[in-house]
Amino acid sequence: MPIILCIDMDAFFASVEQQANPKLRGKAIAVIGSGHRTVITTRSYEARKFGVKTGMNIYEAKKLCPHIIFVVGDNEKYTHTCAELQKIYIRFTPDVEIYSIDEAFLDVTTTHHLFDGPESIGYVIKKEIKKKFGINCTVGIAPNILMAKLASDLAKPDGLRWIKEEDAQSVLHSLPVKELWGIGSAIERRLGDMGIKTCGELGNAPASLLRNKFGIIGETLKLMGLGICRRPLIVREGDPKSIGHSMTLPRDISSRKHIEAQLLKLSEMVGRRARKYGFAGKKVSLTIRYPDFETFTKQATLPGYTNITHEIYRHAVCILDAVRLKDKVRLLGVSISSLMRDSNDQATLFDYKRKEKSILGAVDAVNDRYGDFTVMWASCLEQLKPPSVISPAWRPSGIRNVKIKK
C-alpha cells in the first residue's frame, strides 16, 4: 500500500510576509496584487476569523475587517521559499511532486522505514520548516493523493493527520462531497439534485447512474466517494500546453488604440516567455471581459508556429477585428497554445526570419537585465506598466515561474 504525504503551507503568502515583517505577526493581514481592482490572494488566520475570503475585493474585506492590513505580494519571496522547501522534501524521498507554490506530494512508500515511519517524517518536516522559515504547514498522510490532500485539509492549520486505508470509510461517511479535491460547486450541485450530498452516498451510488449523468468521469466520482484515487505523482513536470497572460485594466477602455496597445504588451509578455523557454505556438487566443463580467475567448489557428511578439499581436488583432464589441473592455488576455519546442535545428520550420529573431533576442536580453518593458515599442510607452502579477499557480522554476518585474 502506497504512503503519500501532502505538505500544505498554512496561509503561505501571508505567513511569508508576516515572517519578513515582524510588525505584521499576529495581525489580520491579506496579500493582494497591486491596483484598486485586485482581490485577496491569501489572508492570515487572524483575518479569516472576520470572514475575509480568497477572491474577495479589498473593499469588501475592509468592510468585514476594518483593521486589516493589505500587503502587495512579492512573488520573488514566495518562489524563493518554495525552492528552499523542495530541498527539505527530497531528503526524504526522490519522488516529490511540487503541485503548486505552497503544496507538495511526497511518495515515501519505499523510504519511510529509513526515517522512523511516515508520521515521523511529517513531524520532522514541520519542525524543519518552522525553524528555517518561521511558517506553519499541515501534513496529510494517506494511501493516495486524494486522501492525503483531504487529510491535510481536515487537519489545518498547523496539523498532521494520517488517514489509513481502514479509516477512510468512516472519514468519508458524512463528509460533504465538495470537500473532495476535484469536486467543485457545479458537480456538487448536480450531485445534490440526485440526492447525493456526502462522500458516503457518492461511494454507494450505482456506477451506471453516475456514468449516465456525468459520462466518463462518473466512475471516477464513485471511486472518489470511496476514497480511491489512481492518479500517480507527477514527479517530472511535462511541457506546457499553453502560455498566456491576461490583465484587468485599471479602467475600462473602449478606444481601439488603447486596446491594441494592451494587446501588444500582452503579446510581448507571452512571446517573451515562450522564447525564453523555447516554445512556439500554432494557435493564438484572445480573451475579452466586459464590465458586466461577460467573458469570452476566440482563437485562431496559424499557418505555422510562432513565438514572435508581432505575429502573436497581429493575430490577436485579427481576432479582435472579427468581434463587434458590445461594451467597454475590462480585461484582455492573449495566449498561445498547440505548442512545440522551438529548438534551433527546427528553426526552418518556423515562418519567421532570422533577423527578426536576433533583434528580439537583443530586446529580451536588455529586459532580462534591467526589468520588463525597459525596451518596448513606441505605441506602448504611453501606457501604464502592468500590475505585479500574483498567483499561487507559480512554480519555483521553469516556464510557470511567471516573474514580472515592476
Partner DNA sequence: TCTGGGGTCCTAGGACCC
Residues in contact with DNA by CB under 7 A are 33, 36-39, 41, 54-55, 57, 59, 99-103, 149, 180-188, 215-217, 240-248, 269, 273, 283, 292-293, 296-301, 331, 333, 335, 337-338, 387, 389-393, 399-400, 402
Give me the least distance between CB of 163 and DNA, in Å please.
16
For the beta carbon of residue 18, count every other beta carbon within 10 angstroms: 23
Instruction: Decide: helix, strand or coil at residue 41.
Output: strand
Residue 105 CB contacts under 8 Å (≥ 6 apart), including other chains: 4, 5, 6, 7, 96, 97, 99, 145, 148, 233
Identify residue 203 by its one-letter amino acid code: G
Give me the least distance between CB of 199 and DNA, in Å please.
13
Give me the least distance between CB of 368 and DNA, in Å please.
17
Identify residue 238 by its one-letter amino acid code: G
Short-list 199, 121, 221, CA closest to 153: 199
- Alpha helices (H) along 194-343: 199-204, 207-214, 217-225, 256-277, 309-321
Short-list 188, 107, 119, 187, CA closest to 145: 107
Give me the least distance between CB of 212 and DNA, in Å please.
11
Which residue, 3 or 243, has its beta carbon nearer to DNA? 243
Which residue, 116 or 237, has its beta carbon nearer to DNA? 237
Which residue, 155 or 331, has its beta carbon nearer to DNA? 331
Residue 237 CB contacts under 8 Å (≥ 6 apart), including other chains: 98, 395, 398, 400
For the beta carbon of residue 44, count every other beta carbon within 10 angstroms: 26
Burial class (CB in 10 A: 0-12, 13-18, 19+), 293: exposed
Place of cell 466586459: 290
Give me the least distance between CB of 66 and DNA, in Å please.
14
Which residue, 109 or 299, has its beta carbon nearer to DNA? 299
Q: How far is Cα 13 from Cα 30, in angstroms, rounded to an integer? A: 9
Give me the least distance between CB of 351 and DNA, in Å please.
15
Using alpha carbons, list the distances in angstroms from residue 112 to 41, 96, 163, 246, 329.
35, 14, 16, 43, 54
Short-list 157, 179, 161, CA closest to 46: 157
Q: How far is Cα 213 from Cα 233, in angstroms, rounded to an integer? A: 29
Which residue, 185 or 343, has its beta carbon nearer to DNA? 185
Give me the least distance between CB of 364 and DNA, in Å please.
17
Give me the least distance between CB of 155 and DNA, in Å please.
14
Q: How far is Cα 155 from Cα 194, in angstroms, rounded to an integer? A: 30
**Which residues carry out catalysis?**
103
Which residue, 101 or 163, has its beta carbon nearer to DNA? 101
Short-list 234, 247, 281, 271, CA closest to 360: 271
Which residue, 161 or 273, has its beta carbon nearer to DNA? 273
DSSP character for 388? P
Which residue, 23 or 185, has its beta carbon nearer to DNA? 185
